[in-house]
């Protein structure tokens, strides 16, 4: 029995729900939202879809007690308008921190002891608060972090070289926010180091322009359709599948960093226990400085929570 819960069924939450149901990943799904009418509507719509699917998912709504035996809970509650208006993910902080202060005790009281995957912004701070307030281990609670930002980097670099984004490897690290950075020393195209591949192609890399395009990618989606959903939901579901299948998937997520005592986007291995271990990767001195700066930025803002 593969059982999931989704807390917050706005654009991201409902896209995760639709993916779980239509791909036949979930045997049971619990939807919880502050708007009960929305929860009822999404339950009915998903149930209608199942008459034309080859799989069946049992869908329940609005009861934290139903999460007691869930394998994975997605935390997706948010207020996207705040970020859109200001262009700053931390604009959601006041709203989302208040939401989590209400949600976490109810999740804890349910007896839930599975894995929490957080997409709520600001992702690093909210994920850390969820871990601390639920009492779950740091392995059990992690966020999508820079997993999506890394995908955006892959897209931008692939466009630069007219290749498939799956052929680009490497990491965007740090805060899922303004202080994030691309660890360019880690980036490869078609298994070649980026600088080497660029020379082979006769191209000169403009890292400043590439970084700008990567950073603006998310905001372009926000401005165009008012929210993001497909990219982040796909990241969340992929992480959930890694947990269920004990895939030992190595990827960047927001998880606890002992050195800086904060949650931050870094390479980790995801399996049946959640974060199996943090995977320390080599960085240049400048990249180490950027990582430290990002960690300090997160800690400073988290302290205001």
Residues flagged as binding site: 8-13, 33
Out of 3, 89, 152, 176, the active site residue is 176
**C-alpha distances in Å from residue 157, one per residue of 203, 205, 250, 253, 300:** 12, 10, 20, 20, 32
Give whole-number Cα distances, 185 to 34, 164, 208, 282, 287, in Å: 44, 20, 15, 8, 9
Residues 260, 296 contacting (CB under 8 angstroms): yes
Q: How many CB atoms lie within 10 A of CB 199?
A: 13
**Coil vs helix vs strand at 213:** helix
State whether residue 228 is helix, strand or coil.
coil
Binding site for NAD(+): residue ranges? 8-13, 33
H helices within 50-146, ranges in order?
80-86, 93-109, 123-134
Cα distance between residue 270 and residue 246, in whole Å: 7
Cα gap 152→184, rounded to integer Å? 14
> Taken in order 43, 46, 48, 51, is the CA torsion positive or negative?
negative
Is 176 among the residues known to form the active site? yes
Q: How far apart are CA 139 and CA 141, in angstroms?
A: 6
Distance CA 212, CA 209 (A): 5
Q: Which residues are catalytic?
A: 176
């Amino acid at each position: 029995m593969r059982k999931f819960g989704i807390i917050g069924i706005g654009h991201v939450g409902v896209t995760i729900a639709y993916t779980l149901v239509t791909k036949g990943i979930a045997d049971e799904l619990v939807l919880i939202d502050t708007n009960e009418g929305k929860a009822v509507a999404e339950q009915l719509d998903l149930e209608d879809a199942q008459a034309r699917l080859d799989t069946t998912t049992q869908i329940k709504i609005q009861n934290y007690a139903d999460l007691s035996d869930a394998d994975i809970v997605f935390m997706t509650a948010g207020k996207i308008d705040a970020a859109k208006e200001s262009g700053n993910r931390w604009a959601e902080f006041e709203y989302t921190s208040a939401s989590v202060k209400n949600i976490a005790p109810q999740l804890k009281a349910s007896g839930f002891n599975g894995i929490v995957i957080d997409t709520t912004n600001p992702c690093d701070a909210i994920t850390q608060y969820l871990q601390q307030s639920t009492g779950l281990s740091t392995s059990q609670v992690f966020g999508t972090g820079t997993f999506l930002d890394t995908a955006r980097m892959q897209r931008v670099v692939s466009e630069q070289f007219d290749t498939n984004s799956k052929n680009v490897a490497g990491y965007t690290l740090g805060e899922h926010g303004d202080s994030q950075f691309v660890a360019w020393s880690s980036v490869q195209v078609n298994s070649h180091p980026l600088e080497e591949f660029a020379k082979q192609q006769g191209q000169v890399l403009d890292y400043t322009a590439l970084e700008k395009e990567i950073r603006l990618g998310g905001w372009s989606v926000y401005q165009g359709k008012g929210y993001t959903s497909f990219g982040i939901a796909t990241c969340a579901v992929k992480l959930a599948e890694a947990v269920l299948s004990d895939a030992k998937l190595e990827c960047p997520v927001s998880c606890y960093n002992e050195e800086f005592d904060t949650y931050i986007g870094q390479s980790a291995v995801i399996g049946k226990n959640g974060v199996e271990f943090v995977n320390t990767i080599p960085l240049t001195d400048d990249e180490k400085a950027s990582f430290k700066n990002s960690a300090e930025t997160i800690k400073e803002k988290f302290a205001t929570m």
